[in-house]
Amino acid sequence: MCRWLAYSGTPILLDTILYRPAHSLIDQSLHARLGVETTNGDGFGVGWYTPDPTPDTPAIVRDTGPAWSNRNLREIADHVRSPLFFAHIRASTGTAVQQTNCHPFRHGRWMWMHNGAITDFNRMRRDLALAVDPALFPHVEGSTDSEMMFYLALTYGLEQDPPGAVERMTGLVERTGHRHDVEFPLQMTVAVTDGQRLWAFRYSSQGASRSLYYSTRVETLRALHPDAAFLRDISDETRLVVSEPLGDLPGAWNEVPESSYGIVQQGADELLPFAPQAV
Amino acid sequence: MCRWLAYSGTPILLDTILYRPAHSLIDQSLHARLGVETTNGDGFGVGWYTPDPTPDTPAIVRDTGPAWSNRNLREIADHVRSPLFFAHIRASTGTAVQQTNCHPFRHGRWMWMHNGAITDFNRMRRDLALAVDPALFPHVEGSTDSEMMFYLALTYGLEQDPPGAVERMTGLVERTGHRHDVEFPLQMTVAVTDGQRLWAFRYSSQGASRSLYYSTRVETLRALHPDAAFLRDISDETRLVVSEPLGDLPGAWNEVPESSYGIVQQGADELLPFAPQAV
Amino acid sequence: MCRWLAYSGTPILLDTILYRPAHSLIDQSLHARLGVETTNGDGFGVGWYTPDPTPDTPAIVRDTGPAWSNRNLREIADHVRSPLFFAHIRASTGTAVQQTNCHPFRHGRWMWMHNGAITDFNRMRRDLALAVDPALFPHVEGSTDSEMMFYLALTYGLEQDPPGAVERMTGLVERTGHRHDVEFPLQMTVAVTDGQRLWAFRYSSQGASRSLYYSTRVETLRALHPDAAFLRDISDETRLVVSEPLGDLPGAWNEVPESSYGIVQQGADELLPFAPQAV
Amino acid sequence: MCRWLAYSGTPILLDTILYRPAHSLIDQSLHARLGVETTNGDGFGVGWYTPDPTPDTPAIVRDTGPAWSNRNLREIADHVRSPLFFAHIRASTGTAVQQTNCHPFRHGRWMWMHNGAITDFNRMRRDLALAVDPALFPHVEGSTDSEMMFYLALTYGLEQDPPGAVERMTGLVERTGHRHDVEFPLQMTVAVTDGQRLWAFRYSSQGASRSLYYSTRVETLRALHPDAAFLRDISDETRLVVSEPLGDLPGAWNEVPESSYGIVQQGADELLPFAPQAV
């Protein structure tokens, strides 16, 4: 499968989150603890919004080799600051190792990344492709289930109602899977953003979803760890959502419950239940 | 566009055809004379059958960089002998530069490569994808028009009747194009083989097809050039089909006529007219 | 050979210079007009300083494929702003196509890029390697003449006296070449910067150096082209040095004379004679 | 570190050894059991001699990504037969991930591959480079300790006396290391061949060398496992030398003792003591 992280908050060098933590995403590319595979070496991607108002699209840099040895990722992490970024390391479940299959995916201002799989995707691929809005169909570039899920969510109104669109996408995947005699069609943690708000979903047909964690409120963490210099430099609004905790700071990480999703946004963040919707 | 060559005959080192001729395919990757672009640096591929009876599938080695600097291609060419091989250099018309978009494509024992384009492919892509046999649909790995043409030809019976299947594929592409108000939907030279016979097609909706040449019969060439040592080492059955002549040997190259196709096979080769068929 | 450009001035999106001009560096990667080869497809690099005070080292992103199809370069150009950046496209003269052979090269805050060659470099390589400061020797990562020239210049005091160090490096290369019976050992245009000032050199042993141009003073250009909106958005201090003019704006480009170098800096820029120094 | 295997015997498809065994080299690229790291994803290489008399040089195909997802390696393994081949998967100890740093290395008819490291190589690199025969110096393409060891062995007569040359190379590395206050300068298992004979060395300054195994004589294995079909298809002369056993067949694998080397050749193979020689 894969591992990912999403950051929203005070603009920081990507390095601070990508490389410096003890169990950083780069460390996870070689030694994931909570994933299905320990190695995530089949490509990576990083997508970031700039602190400037323009462009309002994210930059997305993706490559096919392992993240751990990629020098360009190291350079970008050392020199790019961003208030909102995604990073993803891939362990292919069979589809080709190529740039167009690396996360995050982008459509306009929107970014999407996924950990998990559509079970027996190849049996459903045609049916799902047909459900994509014909106007969006030519934008599908790669061959992954993850990108297909993104375009299905866009088809179902992601830009207007992200949680509803993801629930409808999930409903379609499950119905299609059941029609093909797939018992548990979907396994997913998904992050999606428009550059302002960030939605993170944890769901699986089987009710045994891949791990997903969010960071504790910065104010609470400061009270717990008054000596942690890092916490003084970031705003109260700063939040991380990650496949695996990046370290062992007590009280820092909270599991996203099964079948739920969170919204990271200006003001209070939210944690809400998630259920597939019929389409 | 692209450039390609197909060789059938006495087993030889790939190097003999790929690198040694004055205007070899590798030279064409930097300095094509008859193509739309002089540079063909967006990936390459070589596919070869072994002289051994097993495996009966071709080996296909493809990569995304330019052929001219690829060391692995050089190594393979210097050390692999084959009685039947394809080579292709790509100039992308917009689709991603990735291994799954490099030619030749393979399905079982069959190989396919293409120079040209489906005009406004993105507008037709969904309609054409729907016409692919659902059982074959999951095998489409890349995003090119060329691979889609291959799977459409397979859908229309390539393995039983190659010329008929290509004519039906062409008919479908043209009908689909016209429905989308594309005046001249198709431009193609195509080579396809099952490891025994080789079919080469030249056709375009506009009647102004990309260049395609076949080599003169070896017996005739020997009479013309009694001193050419190379000609003494190859059998009478040896034949090349190429996008551009590989050199200036007088009498060596003949243009494939517009709207026609050739069959290279044991015994006499054939040159026949080609016309799209309604499907 | 290669093509390069160096920009210093108002922080701008890299795209403005890398992709937008009619004869941009990306266009030159396929269609160089003044180079030895029209194609520069053997790797590329871009190095930029951030507008922030930290880090004070440049970011360097390099890859081995052609620039024209590289999506990550496109992403970076669309989203990164810089007051001082280098870009380089490579046409290998024989050394391996690999990231460590791509320009620019970096040492601490310093960046270096080169167009040209040391003639018969392989015959001189050992002698030149021995002249590199032993403390710097392990930092040489690739196998190019260009990187060796950089480390020789560092050995001869680049960080204290850039023009003098380049003159001494040139002197050494010529003396070494002559000892190996190479008549014209060096051909170069070089750009080097510490993030504050930028030095650009044009020299060849034969007195027939590769092309090099610098942009006219912005004030002068504004007077010549009062309608050019672009010129109103950039400061008077903005300057470009390029292997080939990026377009046809009359009066915009001036050839750097043979055997000379320029300094782009706060206040008046300078143009001075260059001559190899004995070491 | 790395993992490697060397095969000599009945010409077979590379696939038989590279992919089919339960704990094949490809499996070891993700799940090495006896190595310092479980992941060997920083490039790979395969070098093979053809069954034909010409060319007598080996083909060497190397690439920078992980072996486990490389499709070209899969294609070659499925279609190339060889009587003598090397395969290597790399875990970089710091030097760049690039083709010229991948094993095996070649010089004329000779191939070399290595697992291990020169301790503090960067401190010794210049001294060792100076000891390389100046005529060979320009052939060093990459930046690894492994390639340097190969060129030092060539300098010390590898082509005339392989064991002696490797002993002298080892002596030089140890003396140089001690001069730089490195207590245990060398750790190595090395395979080298001229296409006829194969030498495999196991040595480390500390006397705690990386694992190395050779396969039991085929006749003995046949007696032990009369039902193993694979053993009936290979000649008595067939032998494997590997970093790790490829499976659990009882009696199949024997550890190469500390400080020793083996010769695989026509007729009886040999196992002999190894000791560094002063130079």
The string of DSSP codes covering A209-270 is PPP-EEEPPHHHHHHH-TT-HHHHSS-TT-EEEESS-SS--TT-EEEPPTTEEEEE-SSS-E
Residue C84 DSSP SS3: strand
Output the pLDDT for position D199.
98
Average pLDDT estimate for A46-62? 94
Q: How far apart are CA C152 and CA C104, in angstroms?
A: 16
Once rounded to an integer, what is the mean pLDDT over residues C152-158?
Answer: 98
Q: Give the per-residue pLDDT at A236.
A: 92
- Can you state the angle between helices D162-179 and D121-131, rounded to 10 degrees? 130
Please tell me which residue of chain A has the smallest CA distance to B131.
A126
Reported as a pLDDT band with limits 50, 70 and 90, residue D217 is very high
Catalytic residue, candidates C2, C18, C165, C169: C2
pLDDT of residue A15: 95
| Beta strands at B110-118 and B105-107: parallel, antiparallel or unpaired | antiparallel
Beta bridge partners, D115, equal D189
Distance from CA of C207 to the nearest CA of B (A): 29
How far is D145 from chain B, CA to nearest CA, in Å? 22
CB C167 within 8 A of CB C219: no
Vertex A108 angle, CA A104 and A114, to 5°: 25
Interface touch A72/C55, C-beta < 8 Å: no
Q: Confirm if D98 and C100 have CB atoms less than 8 A apart.
A: yes
For residue B131, give Cα distances in angstroms to A89, A176, C129, D49. 35, 20, 62, 46
| Record: contact A96-B141, CB cut-off 8 A | yes
Instruction: Give me the sign of the Cα torsion angle D132, D133, D135, D136.
Output: negative
pLDDT digits (tens, 9 = 90+) for B53-95: 888 999 999 999 999 999 999 999 999 999 999 999 999 878 8
Which of B38, B39, B69 shows the shortest C-beta gap to C42? B69
Q: What is the pLDDT of residue D1?
A: 65
Burial class (CB in 10 A: 0-12, 13-18, 19+), B268: exposed
Residue B38 confidence (pLDDT) = 84
Q: Which of B1, B2, B17, B153 is flagged as catalytic? A: B2
Average pLDDT over residues A79-88: 97
Note if B102 is an active site residue: no
Enumerate the residues of chain A whose CB falls inside 8 A of the CB of residue C80: 59, 80
> Do residues C243 and C189 touch, judged by C-beta distance below 8 A?
yes
> For D196, which DSSP code?
S
Site from D33, D38, D39 to mutate, A interface, most A CB atoms within 10 angstroms:
D39
Burial pattern A65-94, b for ≥16 Cβ within 10 A else e, equals: bbbbbbebbbbbbbbbbbbbbbbbbbbbbe
Q: Does D30 touch chain A (CB under 8 A)?
A: yes
In chain D, pLDDT over 70 holds for what percent of residues?
100
Which residue stretches of chain A are H helix? 14-18, 25-31, 71-79, 121-131, 145-155, 162-179, 218-224, 229-232
Query: Using only C-alpha atoms, what is the Rg of chain D?
Result: 18
Please tell me which residue of chain C has the smallest CA distance to D124: C138
pLDDT for C256 beyond 70:
yes
Task: Please tell me the least confidently modeled range out of A164-168, B21-25, B114-118.
Answer: B21-25
- Per-residue pLDDT reduced to its tens digit, C109-144: 999 999 999 999 999 999 999 999 999 999 999 999
Report pLDDT for C90.
Answer: 95
Q: At what angle are helices D145-155 and D121-131 packed, to 10 degrees?
A: 30
Q: Element (H or E) spanning C10, and its range?
A: strand C2-13
Asked if the model's pLDDT at residue D129 lies above 80, the reply is yes
Q: Taking Cα atoms as reference points, which of A43, A148, A30 lies closest to residue A96?
A: A43
* Residues shown for chain B: 279
Which chain C positions have a beta carbon within 8 Å of A71's beta carbon?
Answer: 62, 99
Instruction: Collect all residues of chain C within an 8 Å Cβ-Cβ radius of residue D137.
Output: 125-126
Q: Quote the minimal CA–CA distance from D61 to chain B in Å.
A: 5
Q: Does D224 touch chain A (CB under 8 A)?
A: no
pLDDT attached to residue C1: 66
pLDDT, mean of residues B190-213 = 97
Least confident piece of the model among C19-28, C134-143, C205-214, D134-143? C19-28
Q: Does B100 touch chain A (CB under 8 A)?
A: yes
- State the pLDDT at residue C227: 85
Using CA coordinates, name the residue in chain B closest to A140: B143
Residue A228 has pLDDT above 90, yes or no: no
Q: Which residues of A touch B126 (CB under 8 A)?
A: 134, 137-138
Cα→Cα distances A274→A204, C46, C62, Å: 10, 44, 43
pLDDT at B7 over 70: yes
- Residues C161-190, mean pLDDT to the nearest whole number: 98
Confidence band, pLDDT 50/70/90 cuts, at residue C273: very high
CB contact under 8 A, C122 and D99: no
Q: What fold is seen in the domain A2-114+187-273?
A: Glutamine Phosphoribosylpyrophosphate, subunit 1, domain 1 (3.60.20)
Contacts of A223 (CB under 8 A, 6+ apart): none
pLDDT at site B272: 98
Confidence check: pLDDT of D93 > 90: no
Predicted pLDDT of residue C252: 93
8 Å CB contact between D94 and C110: no
Closest chain B residue to the Cα of D53, Cα to Cα:
B79
What is the value of pTM for the model shown? Answer: 0.96
Task: Work out the average pLDDT over B110-127.
Answer: 97
**CA B131 – CA B152 distance, rounded (Å):** 7
Q: Is the pLDDT of residue D32 over 90?
A: no
Across C188-200, average pLDDT: 98
pLDDT band at A36 (very low <50, low <70, confident <90, very high): confident
